[in-house]
Amino acid sequence: MMPQRILMLGTGPVAVQLAVLFHRYNQAEVTFVSRSHVSERSQQFVDALARDGFVKASVQNASHHSLEGSISNCKVFESYDVVEGTYDFLVLACTADAYIDTLKQLPEAVLKSVKGVLLVSPTLGSNLIVKAQLEAIQPHIEVVSCSTYLGDTRVTEHSQPNCVTTMGVKKHLYFGYSHPSSILKSLLERLFTQVGLPVTYVSTPIEAESRNSSLYVHPALFMNTHALKAIFYGTDVPFYVYKLFPEGPITMDLIHEMRCMWQEISNILKVLNVTPLNLLRFMVEENYPLRAETISKQHIEQFESLSEIEQEYLLYVRYTGILIDPFSQPDDKGFYEDFSAVPFRKIYQNQKGVWEIPRMPHEDYYRTKIIQGLGQALNVETPMIDTLLTRYETTLQHFHKAHPNLKKSQQFFPKTFDEEMICIHQGLQGR
């Protein structure tokens, strides 16, 4: 088989790690596309690549050695509009909210040569958006969605953004395909078989997109009153994402909102003929495990058929069960590793002095808005999702009124995402 030509849209840690894997296990020719004309971080990547002549992926844990590797003499375009050549696949290694803008900037001649697109970190419905965006140019293009990125990859040396380290790896990934016979699927199967990361291949992209617990739990965790205060205004002492109130935001009201959102997404999935997620089982088996003594396997398996109050009780117990790492070794005073002490990140000023919102909740806002739009397009009511989004948007408006003269990014202003909504309607019609 001829080497596949891959255009990697993005120059962050995710893009570097994936490029190394495609090169190592598929002998792919990988070309990067940056945003160096508008992003200082992208410019730093371009400069580092020009200086060193390679990209490199390392790992923190020796057991993940299959993710290591490097690529020499790889090419990088400094903006999307100047890309030239022909490519077999696009890998969208950018955030989901950038998909439309990224594809619009690529030359039509480049898009016409592409056979398929891999969505690395989509939200529910991203495949519909991408397919509709490319419809006029590539009506039969293959779209592959991953449930989420494979792990936690970071730049550890600011001066070397071309060198990344993967700190941890997911337990399981899901991939969904729009085409029954897929070249991209065979590439991914070969890659992940050799990497040794368990993967389930499902029949549709939207099913893979639904297998991401962040979609279900992040809005409740980050769009509650306590969390929003910590993110936008700060707290006198550290406030932690996964701790019970008052150390963190987790209350029975928060758990109620989490369960309601899960139920609303489940209702959307049923209309799309996708099997909903057993949220508790997914949390326990594919995120952070619990001791068997904490929740019985029977309760986990029966979760979907239980009453609402029983479901909320079990979700609350699950969060109490991971306040500490239940599998760590206690110290001589009986204290286990403090697993839940993940502080909320506050709004911050970027290198140009512009205020920005942390990835969580900004990315979660986009993801949840798209899910809301998907529900509206399918005539599925989403009162809990509506409440969470209204609360977040009201916080944005209040902050702007309180600080009208701060130099703020567009993240601080509510959005309608009209282009995405048009694509969703178009994509659903084509199903």
Q: What is the pLDDT of residue 191?
A: 95
For 108, counting Cβ atoms within 10 Å of its Cβ (0-12 exposed, 13-18 middle, 19+ buried), the class is: exposed
Which residue, among 292, 279, 127, has the nearest Cα to 203 in the 3D structure? 127
Taking a C-beta distance cutoff of 8 angstroms, is the pair 313, 256 a contact?
no
In the chain, which residues have pLDDT < 70?
1-2
218 catalytic, yes or no?
yes
Q: What is the pLDDT of residue 1?
A: 56
Please identify which residue in the block is written with the tokens 């408006």. Answer: 397
126: left (phi over 0), alpha (psi -120 to 50) or beta: alpha
The CA distances from residue 274 to 62, 176, 271, in Å, are 38, 12, 8
Say which residues have a Cβ less than 8 Å from residue 175's Cβ, sequence separation at least 6. Answer: 144, 145, 146, 147, 185, 188, 199, 200, 201, 202, 208
Say which residues have a Cβ less than 8 Å from residue 387's Cβ, sequence separation at least 6. Answer: 257
3-state secondary structure of 34: coil
- What backbone phi and psi angles, to 5 degrees, belong to 430? -85, 0
Compute the distance between CA of residue 157 and CA of residue 290 in angstroms, rounded to an integer.
35
Write the DSSP string, 372-406. Answer: HHHHHHTT---HHHHHHHHHHHHHHHHHHHH-TTS
Taking a C-beta distance cutoff of 8 angstroms, is the pair 71, 27 a contact?
no
The one catalytic residue among 64, 218, 256, 362 = 218
Compute the distance between CA of residue 399 and CA of residue 278 in angstroms, rounded to an integer.
37
Q: What is the pLDDT of residue 13?
A: 97
Q: How many helices, marked H, and strands, marked E, lie in the chain?
A: 16, 14
DSSP code for 345: P
Say which residues have a Cβ less than 8 Å from residue 343's Cβ, sequence separation at least 6. Answer: 238, 239, 240, 241
Say which residues have a Cβ less than 8 Å from residue 334's Cβ, sequence separation at least 6. Answer: none
Taking a C-beta distance cutoff of 8 angstroms, is the pair 129, 428 a contact?
no
How many CA atoms lie within 13 Å of 85's alpha carbon, on the beta-carbon side? 17
